[in-house]
Amino acid sequence: MWDCSGKGPAGRRPQTLKHHLFPLRAMRYQSDGPLLASGCAEGRVAIWKPSKRDDPDMTASLGSPVTALSWSTASGHLAVATEDGSVVVYDPRST
């Protein structure tokens, strides 16, 4: 990931976040917060504070590939949809 704030990514090194072993299916930043969520084809979800550290703050295994991620602007919750039709909601403030 490149930091695109200020003058943009030119001349900056990208930050590499390592956790998923399978291809990513979805990534989404909070629209009004510092958290990034990622989900992969293995069904693993990770929540990160990329500006603070390179390791995820929370991880979960859902058992079915992740198909979509969506942050609630009202509550800060993360909804995760999976290929088997499940939807799981996380409150990252409780981790």
Q: Tens digit of pLDDT for each residue in 41-90?
A: 999 999 988 777 678 989 999 999 999 999 998 888 999 999 999 999 99
* Burial 39-74, CB ≥16 within 10 A → b, else e: bbbbbbbbbbebeeeeebebeeebeebbbebebeee
The answer as to whether 6 is a domain residue is no
The answer as to whether 67 is a domain residue is yes
39 touches 71 (CB < 8 A): no
Number of domains, the chain: 1
The answer as to whether 9 is a domain residue is no
What pLDDT was estimated at residue 46? 93
Domain limits for position 32 = 24-89
What pLDDT was estimated at residue 80? 97
d(CA 45, CA 79) in angstroms, rounded, equals 11
pLDDT band, residue 1 (cuts 50/70/90): low
